[in-house]
Structure 1
Amino acid sequence: MNTKEVHSIVPVLLSGGSGTRLWPLSRSQFPKQFLPLAGERTMLQETMERVAGVAGISAPIPVCNEAHRFLVADQLREMGWGDNPILLEPEGKNTAPAIALAALEAERLDSSILLLVLPADHVVDEPEFLQEAITVGREPAEQGSLVTFGIVPNAPETGFGYIRTQESPEGQLEPLAVAEFVEKPDRGRAETFVESGDYFWNSGMFLFRADTYLSELGRHAPEILGACRQAFESAERDMDFVRVNAEAFAKSPEDSIDYAVMEKTETAYMVPIQSGWSDVGSWSALFEVTPKDENGNVVRGDVISRGDSNCYLRAESRLLVTSGLEDHVVVETADSVLVAHKNQAQGIKGLVNQLKSEGRDEHQVHRRVYRPWGAYEQIALSKRSQVKRLFIKPGACLSLQMHHHRAEHWVVVQGTAQVTRDGEIFLLTEDQSTYLPVGCYHRIENPGVIPLELIEVQTGGYLGEDDIVRFEDSYGRG
């Protein structure tokens, strides 16, 4: 980043959500912002892509949790936007502290930087309207205002918060002084809001100078600023990541930017956006913003549909056949299938909580689990054996490790593997294998230029992922 450039715009990508209402596709270890739900790219990538054309835009400052750090790094690097460090929250504290960490990072570079705060899991149909609104909001933000963006409502939605402006827009796109932020209304109030022309959906997107936000946060929520500053000043910088101090960060109150700052500040302005927008908070919301076929169905994957109408049908790993359904959501993944009426889509979170309470893993991970070196899939599991398929990226390697309770057998399916086994280093190519007994120090690396695929057969009395003792790791894992 050119630190001498005054008022460059740095997107702050808020990527810490869990997306439980989009289960079974979105899970806590691989939530919706890292999935290609509404397009070819992931939602995180589309968030950055839709603002890439704004004048003065710079590399983003992502904010996420520890578990998702490599997903964020890989997806931004794939787009050529991996210049800034990724801020890691020790725990979720809502948006006010998350944005404070980003503002402190920006302050370290240039306090006059404009921060463009963007949730990484929204859909915007016509990004040119958003880009225009950012351009219009730039001047008041540079002059010390806290600018937010309101969506011109096309329906009396009860699932969104609203923003009321002091005056109605008169055709020309311009910043409007904010009168109040309104919580999610009931149906009657929502209808009144839309009819008045003075209310807009609260998009959760903002534009302001880093120093302005920190000043207003200190004025209206000093406990948050104090805890975040202490956590940031004692942060550890590790490769591409900034790990703020967990003990200090835990002292911060949990609060949204709306409650902590925007509802109290006297410098709030809103720029309206006349564009299709959704926070994709449920399957029914995703259905509404996704193109449909002649029967009103959204169909993704290997699906045969007969006589269905107004359904969301998605197959991830096998053939899905449906017939005679109306207003339903059917989502198939390798380990779970969801069948629900669209009217019940908001109840998915309760089902996920039930999975948690029953001690099941399906709320957390998919059959394919992503790691910084690649991914693995569970193929078969019994009491004393487990079979996995490992995919290792070119140049990547697993940690040097050992297991107390299991032995492993590796068979190379594709590519070349460099194996370390109790100090011995050797190569394996396709159809070759090696045995790793219990207690063996071992590591595998992909020295080639194509992905390495192998089958891992585990045997032993305990096969849990926590039976890993790491001695060396390229990715800073303990």
Structure 2
Amino acid sequence: MTRKIVPVIMAGGRGTRLWPLSRAAAPKQFLRLIGDDTLFQNALARVSDPAVYEPAIVVTNEEFRFLVAEQARELGVDLSSIVLEPVARNTAAAIAAAAVVAANLFGESTIIQILASDHEIGVDESYVNANLIARAAAEDGKLVTFGITPTEPATGYGYIEVGGILPSGAHAVRRFVEKPSSAVAADMLAAGSYFWNSGMFMFAVPVLLTELKAYALDVLEAAALAVDKAAKDLDFLRLDCLAFERSPNISIDYAIMEKTSKAAVVPSTFAWSDLGSWDSVWKTGTQDEADNVASANTTLVGTRSSLVVSQGPHLVVSGLENIVVVASEDAVYVGRMEDSQDVGKLVKHLEASPATSKLTEIHPTCYRPWGGYTSVLIGDRFQVKRIFVLPGRKLSLQRHHHRSEHWIVVKGTAEITVGETVEILRENESAYIPLGEIHRLANPGKIMLELIEVQTGSYLAEDDIIRIADEFGRS
């Protein structure tokens, strides 16, 4: 049995509250919102001390599996397991499955820490101390959650009322409170005994499984069977779908935390945000002398207390105050800072129209295990893409029924297979792939390969790919 903590990072959520950057297929945990690293990578970095933590278990889904693996590789971080949920079943089933996996890997008495992949957390002395207290409480048989000291009467979080102090330094949980009205939130803030429910936990696996057996047996049975029947696929553990989907769609709070007598909370003062809206990104960002938070590719003149972010065109904002301007490659959002919580409603409006629904689902830049591509231009019977391939990676050996392709190398070195011919192309050299011809693209070099692909044909969707061989198990 390990004496270290086993981190479990929940990375399967599909969020659109940070639209237009966050989409169903590109949620916020995998985006570089302001800094160089993603929120998921920041979560990995927080649990990277080998003296304290074992390599993390990441729970995600089929669609994000290669994003998880690649972003961990970028940091040079090893993972214990990447567990793939076949269907979404909220946090109770995911945590139960991860607990069983942790017990199989590290021993039945393992302590696990449940962490979100999309939270912004300030790692300081108070954060370290909170984790030490939580571990001590978990070793004492408590199911521990972390309560964040509220800084405002927020209505978007659940709250925890704390009870008496325990020998570990944690507190008993007096009660959990649903997301309150603004008046109730103000009263709780004034009382001083209520904390935001962070969604972070520390459990000893046998205690967690015992409480699941007592209060949510159907969740435990479904998750345990899904792990028992799981299939190993490259670096991924695929939970059995038929077993896992039997679990109720329920959170860990509803399943056990609000029922158990063993709940404990660690009141915490470290900086924390779930980055659930653009105003929270502004609050946690580095503000300039005019209280603006701005990314590269922006110019602000006479503008105050605003958030301006662009991953597409250069944004120029002049003479405005308390606004949010966010641009992706294919959409721009402009709104008042105080209306940031309403972005979710706007996304539902966009989803309802066939003309705009894709703007909520697919990002112009899509990531694959070998690299990715950005859609540059789509027209009638043609499409232009920028393709980037990581050093040493290759696409599947494939062919298409409905399109031909032209490749032009703009950076790096490409190994091109067309039929029986294999050749090396360098910058400014090109290749033509006739319709129906077997072909493959690879990067044999030491730097990123970038090329422009022009597709022409009667059907250009991604499902017109017949994979013949693939090193990522997709053929």
TM-score, normalised to structure 2, is 0.95
Q: Quick one: which of 275, 278, 283 aligns to 1:283?
A: 278
User: Aligned partners of 1:32, 1:290: CA distance in 2, in Å?
Assistant: 15
1:174 is aligned to 169
1:464 is aligned to 461
1:348 is aligned to 343
Verify the 8 A CA contact 2:137 2:169 in the aligned structure 1. Answer: no
User: Aligned partners of 2:124, 2:362: CA distance in 1, in Å?
Assistant: 32
User: Aligned partners of 1:52, 1:431: CA distance in 2, in Å?
Assistant: 42
Q: Does 1:257 align with 2:252?
A: yes
Report how many aligned residue pairs link the two structures: 472
Q: Secondary structure at the match of 1:67?
A: helix
User: Aligned partners of 1:415, 1:14: CA distance in 2, in Å?
Assistant: 36
Deviation at 1:248, TM superposition (A): 1.6
Unaligned segments of structure 2, at least 5 residues: none
Q: Does 1:17 align with 2:24?
A: no
Which residues in structure 2 correspond to 1:105-254 (within 5 Å)?
Answer: 105-109=101-105, 110-167=107-164, 174-254=169-249
User: Aligned partners of 1:39, 1:410: CA distance in 2, in Å?
Assistant: 32
Q: Secondary structure at the match of 1:448?
A: coil
Deviation at 1:241, TM superposition (A): 0.4
Verify the 8 A CA contact 2:165 2:172 in the aligned structure 1. Answer: no
2:418 is aligned to 421
User: Aligned partners of 1:292, 1:160: CA distance in 2, in Å?
Assistant: 24
Q: Secondary structure at the match of 1:391?
A: strand
Deviation at 1:137, TM superposition (A): 1.6
Q: Deviations over 1:209-257 (max 9, x none)?
A: 1222122112111111111111111111111101111122111111111
User: Aligned partners of 2:401, 2:32: CA distance in 1, in Å?
Assistant: 39
Q: Does 1:46 align with 2:42?
A: yes
Q: Does 1:98 align with 2:94?
A: yes
Q: Deviations over 1:163-213 (max 9, x none)?
A: 1122379xx991101111110111222122122222111011100112221
User: Aligned partners of 1:397, 1:231: CA distance in 2, in Å?
Assistant: 32
Q: Secondary structure at the match of 1:362?
A: helix
Q: Quick one: which of 75, 80, 83 aligns to 2:76?
A: 80
User: Aligned partners of 1:326, 1:10: CA distance in 2, in Å?
Assistant: 45
Deviation at 1:122, TM superposition (A): 0.8
Q: Quick one: which of 377, 387, 392 aligns to 2:389?
A: 392
User: Aligned partners of 2:125, 2:365: CA distance in 1, in Å?
Assistant: 36
- The amino acid across from 1:444 in the alignment is L
Q: Does 1:294 align with 2:294?
A: no
User: Aligned partners of 2:168, 2:186: CA distance in 1, in Å?
Assistant: 24
Q: Does 1:337 align with 2:332?
A: yes
Q: Secondary structure at the match of 1:466?
A: coil
User: Aligned partners of 1:419, 1:461: CA distance in 2, in Å?
Assistant: 24
User: Aligned partners of 1:374, 1:54: CA distance in 2, in Å?
Assistant: 29
Verify the 8 A CA contact 1:54 1:131 in the aligned structure 2. Answer: no
Distance of aligned partners of 1:256 and 1:44 in 2 relative to their CA distance in 1, 3 Å threshold: same
Unaligned segments of structure 1, at least 5 residues: none
Moved more, 156-165 or 191-200: 191-200
User: Aligned partners of 1:205, 1:292: CA distance in 2, in Å?
Assistant: 27
Q: Secondary structure at the match of 2:54?
A: coil
Verify the 8 A CA contact 1:168 1:197 in the aligned structure 2. Answer: no
Q: Secondary structure at the match of 1:266?
A: coil
Q: Secondary structure at the match of 2:210?
A: helix
User: Aligned partners of 1:436, 1:77: CA distance in 2, in Å?
Assistant: 32
Q: Secondary structure at the match of 1:180?
A: strand
User: Aligned partners of 1:269, 1:336: CA distance in 2, in Å?
Assistant: 44
Verify the 8 A CA contact 2:298 2:316 in the aligned structure 1. Answer: yes
Distance of aligned partners of 1:205 and 1:471 in 2 relative to their CA distance in 1, 3 Å threshold: same
Distance of aligned partners of 1:211 and 1:38 in 2 relative to their CA distance in 1, 3 Å threshold: farther
Deviation at 1:54, TM superposition (A): 8.3
Distance of aligned partners of 1:125 and 1:325 in 2 relative to their CA distance in 1, 3 Å threshold: same
Distance of aligned partners of 1:349 and 1:38 in 2 relative to their CA distance in 1, 3 Å threshold: same
Q: Quick one: which of 58, 62, 74 aligns to 1:62?
A: 58
User: Aligned partners of 2:370, 2:5: CA distance in 1, in Å?
Assistant: 32
Q: Deviations over 1:328-377 (max 9, x none)?
A: 11011211111011222122112222333323322123222111111112
User: Aligned partners of 1:239, 1:71: CA distance in 2, in Å?
Assistant: 14
Verify the 8 A CA contact 1:356 1:363 in the aligned structure 2. Answer: yes
User: Aligned partners of 2:389, 2:50: CA distance in 1, in Å?
Assistant: 36
Verify the 8 A CA contact 1:173 1:272 in the aligned structure 2. Answer: no
Distance of aligned partners of 1:37 and 1:389 in 2 relative to their CA distance in 1, 3 Å threshold: closer
Q: Secondary structure at the match of 2:324?
A: strand
User: Aligned partners of 2:72, 2:111: CA distance in 1, in Å?
Assistant: 20
User: Aligned partners of 1:152, 1:273: CA distance in 2, in Å?
Assistant: 6
User: Aligned partners of 1:150, 1:144: CA distance in 2, in Å?
Assistant: 18
2:367 is aligned to 370
Which residues in structure 2 correspond to 1:312-323 (within 5 Å)?
Answer: 312-323=307-318
Q: Secondary structure at the match of 2:285?
A: coil
User: Aligned partners of 1:423, 1:238: CA distance in 2, in Å?
Assistant: 30
User: Aligned partners of 2:350, 2:214: CA distance in 1, in Å?
Assistant: 42
TM-score, normalised to structure 1, is 0.95
User: Aligned partners of 1:219, 1:54: CA distance in 2, in Å?
Assistant: 34
User: Aligned partners of 1:252, 1:259: CA distance in 2, in Å?
Assistant: 14
Deviation at 1:106, TM superposition (A): 0.6
Which residues in structure 2 correspond to 1:429-440 (within 5 Å)?
Answer: 429-440=426-437
Aligned-pair identity in percent equals: 45
